[in-house]
Amino acid sequence: MVTGGSSGIGAAIARTLARRGWQLVLLARGEERLAEVAGELGAEQEVCDVADRAEVERVAAAVRERHPAIRLLVNNAGIPGGGGFLDLEPDKIEALVRTNYLGSVWCLRAFLPALEAGAPADLVNIASVAGTIAAGHSGPYSASKHAQLAFSRSVGVELAGSGITVHTVIPGFIDTPGFPNRARFRSRLLQGLVADPDLVADQVVRGIERNRLEQFVPRWYRPAAIVQAAAPGLLARAARASGVRRKQK
């Protein structure tokens, strides 16, 4: 099962898994793109908005009827959200939480019986470096990913001994249709910091095969997360100073 499987990281993960012989069921909101990717890979498809708990439960029941045992669930579905807590529309803030955080919770709960039946099985949660570092002007998005990261780490403990291994993948800047990160930077140097979805897909598969519980993609994002955890005031002061300079300009 791959959520958000119609484009970007989700589609890249689906293609990588398909090359390894996995039988796939792809979930996404957009039916047209979903049908295109599913047709390309010979995968099953289900139109589903993971932010809607009732819809997730309905789709999961239909999938479990066809596939009582599932070996892998990839919680990848997510939406972007630029803007701060004080200026972003309330509906957008709620949508970020429902999709980026609660969507992962609802999908795990709904597909848990099938994962238990398929054990040993794996759960992969695609989080974000934004969930480890909160220093910019996309606070609601960062908060939704902070919550998803806490969920992934916590549920890994809850599922200990169940035969289900939880993997947390934490990408940095990845260029996708929903997150066109290369277009954000004019400098070629900064554009070089942006990776492609295939890199994440490769690391997801390697993480499962090598039993890696948590990994940053690319790996050199990890030190920034360590800096904020060890010295949060330092990063906060730097971010505030940067904000003051922008306002003065």
pLDDT single digits (tens) 196-226: 889 999 999 999 999 999 999 978 667 667 7
* End-to-end Cα separation, the chain, in angstroms: 48
Catalytic residue among 141, 151, 173, 216: 141
The CATH number for 233's domain is 3.40.50.720
Residue 107 to residue 111: CA distance in whole angstroms: 6
In the annotation, is 221 catalytic?
A: no
DSSP code string of 32-87: HHHHHHHHHHT-EEEE--TT-HHHHHHHHHHHHHH-S--SEEEE-------S-TTT
Q: What is the pLDDT of residue 164?
A: 98
Residue 142 to residue 37: CA distance in whole angstroms: 29
Q: 59: which residues sit within 8 A by CB, 6+ positions away?
A: 27, 46, 48, 110
Structure tokens at 177: 């249709």
Considering its fold, how many domains does the chain have in total? 1
Please give the angle made by the CA atoms of 213, 52 and 71, to the nearest 5 degrees. 35
Highest mean pLDDT range out of 85-89, 107-111, 196-200? 107-111
Q: What is the pLDDT of residue 222?
A: 72
Tell me the residue range of the domain where 136 lies: 2-248
